[in-house]
A and B are shown apart, each in its own frame.
Chain A
Amino acid sequence: NAGVTQTPKFQVLKTGQSMTLQCAQDMNHNSMYWYRQDPGMGLRLIYYSASEGTTDKGEVPNGYNVSRLNKREFSLRLESAAPSQTSVYFCASSEARSGPTDTQYFGPGTRLTVL
Protein backbone atom coordinates (compact mmCIF):
# COMPACT_ATOMS: atom_id res chain seq x y z
CA ASN A 1 0.00 0.00 0.00
CA ALA A 2 1.29 3.44 -0.94
CA GLY A 3 -0.95 5.22 1.62
CA VAL A 4 -1.48 8.84 0.59
CA THR A 5 0.36 10.06 -2.49
CA GLN A 6 0.70 13.61 -3.77
CA THR A 7 1.90 15.08 -7.04
CA PRO A 8 3.93 17.09 -7.75
CA LYS A 9 6.52 17.14 -4.96
CA PHE A 10 7.79 20.59 -5.91
CA GLN A 11 6.35 23.39 -8.04
CA VAL A 12 7.32 26.95 -8.88
CA LEU A 13 4.63 29.25 -10.29
CA LYS A 14 4.51 32.85 -11.39
CA THR A 15 1.89 35.14 -9.90
CA GLY A 16 -1.40 34.64 -11.71
CA GLN A 17 -0.69 31.15 -12.99
CA SER A 18 -2.99 28.28 -12.15
CA MET A 19 -2.27 24.73 -11.13
CA THR A 20 -3.85 21.65 -9.62
CA LEU A 21 -2.34 19.58 -6.83
CA GLN A 22 -3.29 15.91 -6.98
CA CYS A 23 -3.87 13.58 -4.05
CA ALA A 24 -4.80 9.90 -3.97
CA GLN A 25 -5.20 7.36 -1.19
CA ASP A 26 -5.40 3.58 -1.35
CA MET A 27 -6.66 2.93 2.19
CA ASN A 28 -10.35 3.01 1.26
CA HIS A 29 -10.80 6.06 3.49
CA ASN A 30 -13.98 8.09 3.30
CA SER A 31 -12.64 11.50 4.30
CA MET A 32 -9.89 13.55 2.71
CA TYR A 33 -8.31 16.89 3.63
CA TRP A 34 -6.05 19.61 2.30
CA TYR A 35 -3.80 21.56 4.67
CA ARG A 36 -1.15 24.20 4.21
CA GLN A 37 1.91 24.62 6.39
CA ASP A 38 3.71 27.96 6.42
CA PRO A 39 7.29 28.18 7.74
CA GLY A 40 7.54 27.63 11.49
CA MET A 41 3.84 27.04 11.87
CA GLY A 42 1.37 24.23 12.26
CA LEU A 43 -1.05 22.99 9.66
CA ARG A 44 -4.14 24.94 8.71
CA LEU A 45 -7.12 23.26 7.06
CA ILE A 46 -8.01 24.58 3.60
CA TYR A 47 -10.83 22.26 2.53
CA TYR A 48 -12.03 18.82 3.42
CA SER A 49 -14.31 16.17 1.99
CA ALA A 50 -16.26 14.14 4.53
CA SER A 51 -17.26 11.60 1.90
CA GLU A 52 -17.35 11.15 -1.84
CA GLY A 53 -19.48 13.89 -3.34
CA THR A 54 -19.16 16.40 -0.50
CA THR A 55 -16.69 19.20 0.17
CA ASP A 56 -16.54 21.85 2.88
CA LYS A 57 -14.43 24.89 3.66
CA GLY A 58 -11.81 24.80 6.35
CA GLU A 59 -10.01 27.61 8.11
CA VAL A 60 -8.28 29.20 5.08
CA PRO A 61 -10.26 28.43 1.87
CA ASN A 62 -9.85 31.73 0.01
CA GLY A 63 -8.01 31.38 -3.31
CA TYR A 64 -8.54 27.63 -3.56
CA ASN A 65 -11.03 25.19 -5.02
CA VAL A 66 -11.28 21.44 -4.56
CA SER A 67 -12.73 18.46 -6.35
CA ARG A 68 -13.46 15.06 -4.86
CA LEU A 69 -13.09 13.14 -8.09
CA ASN A 70 -13.95 9.75 -6.58
CA LYS A 71 -13.39 8.00 -3.28
CA ARG A 72 -9.63 7.77 -3.88
CA GLU A 73 -8.82 11.19 -5.29
CA PHE A 74 -9.08 14.75 -3.96
CA SER A 75 -7.53 17.63 -5.90
CA LEU A 76 -6.73 21.20 -4.89
CA ARG A 77 -6.74 23.97 -7.49
CA LEU A 78 -5.17 27.40 -7.35
CA GLU A 79 -6.90 29.48 -10.03
CA SER A 80 -4.64 32.54 -9.85
CA ALA A 81 -1.61 31.92 -7.67
CA ALA A 82 -0.37 34.65 -5.33
CA PRO A 83 2.94 34.89 -3.40
CA SER A 84 0.92 34.48 -0.17
CA GLN A 85 0.14 30.96 -1.31
CA THR A 86 3.79 29.94 -1.10
CA SER A 87 3.64 27.06 1.35
CA VAL A 88 3.88 23.31 1.80
CA TYR A 89 0.61 21.59 1.02
CA PHE A 90 -0.38 18.35 2.70
CA CYS A 91 -3.16 16.02 1.76
CA ALA A 92 -4.55 13.65 4.40
CA SER A 93 -7.19 10.98 4.65
CA SER A 94 -9.11 9.23 7.41
CA GLU A 95 -11.68 6.49 7.79
CA ALA A 96 -14.27 8.99 9.09
CA ARG A 97 -15.38 6.76 11.92
CA SER A 98 -17.95 8.38 14.11
CA GLY A 99 -16.45 10.23 17.06
CA PRO A 100 -13.14 11.99 17.58
CA THR A 101 -10.94 8.90 17.24
CA ASP A 102 -10.57 9.31 13.50
CA THR A 103 -6.82 9.45 12.82
CA GLN A 104 -5.62 11.33 9.77
CA TYR A 105 -2.78 9.96 7.68
CA PHE A 106 -0.73 12.37 5.61
CA GLY A 107 0.89 12.42 2.22
CA PRO A 108 4.51 13.56 1.73
CA GLY A 109 3.57 17.15 0.87
CA THR A 110 3.98 19.49 -2.11
CA ARG A 111 6.36 22.40 -1.75
CA LEU A 112 4.91 25.33 -3.75
CA THR A 113 6.67 28.59 -4.44
CA VAL A 114 4.85 31.49 -6.09
CA LEU A 115 7.13 34.20 -7.48
Chain B
Amino acid sequence: AQKITQTQPGMFVQEKEAVTLDCTYDTSDQSYGLFWYKQPSSGEMIFLIYQGSYDEQNATEGRYSLNFQKARKSANLVISASQLGDSAMYFCAMREGDTNAGKSTFGDGTTLTVKP
Protein backbone atom coordinates (compact mmCIF):
# COMPACT_ATOMS: atom_id res chain seq x y z
CA ALA B 1 0.00 0.00 0.00
CA GLN B 2 1.19 3.50 -0.75
CA LYS B 3 2.44 5.32 2.27
CA ILE B 4 1.71 8.76 0.83
CA THR B 5 -1.35 9.37 -1.33
CA GLN B 6 -2.01 12.55 -3.24
CA THR B 7 -5.37 12.04 -4.92
CA GLN B 8 -5.42 15.21 -7.03
CA PRO B 9 -3.22 14.86 -10.13
CA GLY B 10 -4.08 18.41 -11.16
CA MET B 11 -5.71 21.44 -9.54
CA PHE B 12 -6.71 24.86 -10.82
CA VAL B 13 -7.16 27.99 -8.73
CA GLN B 14 -7.91 31.60 -9.54
CA GLU B 15 -5.23 34.11 -8.65
CA LYS B 16 -5.66 35.56 -5.12
CA GLU B 17 -7.87 32.67 -4.00
CA ALA B 18 -6.91 29.97 -1.51
CA VAL B 19 -6.35 26.34 -2.51
CA THR B 20 -5.99 23.09 -0.57
CA LEU B 21 -3.79 20.25 -1.81
CA ASP B 22 -4.64 16.90 -0.27
CA CYS B 23 -2.25 14.40 1.28
CA THR B 24 -3.04 11.27 3.24
CA TYR B 25 -0.45 9.00 4.77
CA ASP B 26 -0.12 5.57 6.27
CA THR B 27 2.22 4.69 9.12
CA SER B 28 2.22 2.68 12.31
CA ASP B 29 4.97 4.81 13.84
CA GLN B 30 4.01 7.26 16.58
CA SER B 31 6.87 9.58 15.66
CA TYR B 32 6.96 10.88 12.12
CA GLY B 33 7.34 14.05 10.12
CA LEU B 34 5.40 15.35 7.15
CA PHE B 35 6.91 17.67 4.55
CA TRP B 36 5.70 19.58 1.53
CA TYR B 37 7.96 20.45 -1.39
CA LYS B 38 7.35 22.62 -4.44
CA GLN B 39 8.79 21.72 -7.83
CA PRO B 40 8.44 24.51 -10.41
CA SER B 41 8.88 23.87 -14.12
CA SER B 42 12.60 24.59 -13.74
CA GLY B 43 12.81 21.29 -11.87
CA GLU B 44 14.35 22.07 -8.49
CA MET B 45 12.77 20.80 -5.27
CA ILE B 46 11.99 23.57 -2.79
CA PHE B 47 11.17 22.79 0.84
CA LEU B 48 7.99 24.58 1.95
CA ILE B 49 6.76 23.40 5.32
CA TYR B 50 7.12 20.71 7.99
CA GLN B 51 4.73 19.17 10.53
CA GLY B 52 5.79 16.79 13.28
CA SER B 53 3.45 14.10 14.56
CA TYR B 54 3.70 15.44 18.10
CA ASP B 55 3.16 19.08 17.12
CA GLU B 56 -0.09 20.28 18.63
CA GLN B 57 -0.49 23.27 16.37
CA ASN B 58 -0.71 23.30 12.60
CA ALA B 59 2.48 24.51 10.93
CA THR B 60 2.48 27.82 9.06
CA GLU B 61 5.09 29.46 6.86
CA GLY B 62 3.97 32.71 5.29
CA ARG B 63 1.17 31.92 2.84
CA TYR B 64 1.56 28.17 3.42
CA SER B 65 -0.18 26.31 6.19
CA LEU B 66 -0.55 22.63 6.90
CA ASN B 67 -3.96 21.32 7.95
CA PHE B 68 -2.87 18.36 10.07
CA GLN B 69 -5.59 15.91 11.10
CA LYS B 70 -3.81 13.11 12.89
CA ALA B 71 -6.80 10.83 13.44
CA ARG B 72 -7.63 10.98 9.74
CA LYS B 73 -3.95 10.69 8.77
CA SER B 74 -4.12 13.70 6.55
CA ALA B 75 -1.70 16.59 6.08
CA ASN B 76 -3.20 18.96 3.54
CA LEU B 77 -1.30 21.98 2.28
CA VAL B 78 -3.24 25.24 2.18
CA ILE B 79 -1.91 28.07 0.02
CA SER B 80 -3.60 31.38 0.70
CA ALA B 81 -3.83 34.27 -1.77
CA SER B 82 -2.50 32.26 -4.72
CA GLN B 83 0.01 33.90 -7.03
CA LEU B 84 0.94 33.05 -10.60
CA GLY B 85 4.34 31.94 -9.33
CA ASP B 86 2.65 29.23 -7.26
CA SER B 87 2.01 27.25 -10.44
CA ALA B 88 4.13 24.15 -9.92
CA MET B 89 4.06 20.52 -8.87
CA TYR B 90 3.67 19.94 -5.13
CA PHE B 91 4.88 16.85 -3.31
CA CYS B 92 3.92 15.56 0.11
CA ALA B 93 6.55 13.43 1.88
CA MET B 94 6.82 11.53 5.13
CA ARG B 95 9.75 10.56 7.28
CA GLU B 96 9.05 7.82 9.80
CA GLY B 97 10.59 6.84 13.07
CA ASP B 98 12.98 8.24 15.56
CA THR B 99 16.24 7.36 13.82
CA ASN B 100 18.92 9.38 12.14
CA ALA B 101 18.83 9.62 8.38
CA GLY B 102 15.50 7.86 8.10
CA LYS B 103 14.12 7.31 4.68
CA SER B 104 11.57 9.71 3.27
CA THR B 105 8.64 8.54 1.16
CA PHE B 106 7.14 10.86 -1.46
CA GLY B 107 3.70 11.00 -3.01
CA ASP B 108 3.19 11.24 -6.77
CA GLY B 109 2.50 14.96 -6.61
CA THR B 110 -0.23 17.44 -7.54
CA THR B 111 0.17 19.89 -10.38
CA LEU B 112 -1.23 23.29 -9.42
CA THR B 113 -2.10 25.84 -12.07
CA VAL B 114 -2.93 29.39 -10.98
CA LYS B 115 -5.14 31.24 -13.46
CA PRO B 116 -4.89 35.02 -13.86
Q: For residue B56, give the distance in angstroms from its CB to the closest CB of chain A.
A: 15
- The reply to whether B103 and A108 contact each other, CB–CB distance below 8 Å, is no
Residue of B with least CB distance to A111: B43
Residues of A within 8 A of B46 (CB): 106
A41 and B103 in contact, given A100-B97, A108-B43 (Cβ under 8 angstroms): no
Which of B45, B52, B98 interacts with A98 by CB under 8 Å?
Answer: B98
- The reply to whether A41 and B44 contact each other, CB–CB distance below 8 Å, is no
- The reply to whether A103 and B50 contact each other, CB–CB distance below 8 Å, is yes
- The reply to whether B106 and A100 contact each other, CB–CB distance below 8 Å, is no
- The reply to whether B108 and A40 contact each other, CB–CB distance below 8 Å, is yes
Q: A75 CA to B93 CA in the complex, in Å?
A: 24
Q: A42 CA to B105 CA in the complex, in Å?
A: 9
Task: Judge whether A104 is part of the interface by a CB distance below 8 angstroms.
Answer: yes
Query: Interface residue count for A (Cβ, 8 Å)?
Result: 35
Q: A43 CA to B107 CA in the complex, in Å?
A: 8
Which has the most chain A C-beta neighbours within 10 Å: B46, B93, B98, B104?
Answer: B104
Residues of B at the A interface (CB closer than 8 Å) are 4, 31-33, 35, 37, 43-47, 50, 52-53, 91, 93, 95-104, 106-109
Residues of A at the B interface (CB closer than 8 Å) are 30-31, 33, 35, 40-45, 48-51, 58-59, 88, 90, 92, 94, 96-109, 111
Question: Besides A48-B103, A100-B96, A102-B33, 4 other CB < 8 A contacts?
Answer: A33-B104, A40-B108, A100-B97, A109-B43
Question: Could you pull out 13 A-B pairs where Cβ atoms are within 8 angstroms?
Answer: A31-B101, A40-B108, A42-B91, A42-B109, A43-B93, A50-B101, A51-B100, A59-B103, A96-B101, A100-B33, A100-B53, A102-B100, A108-B44
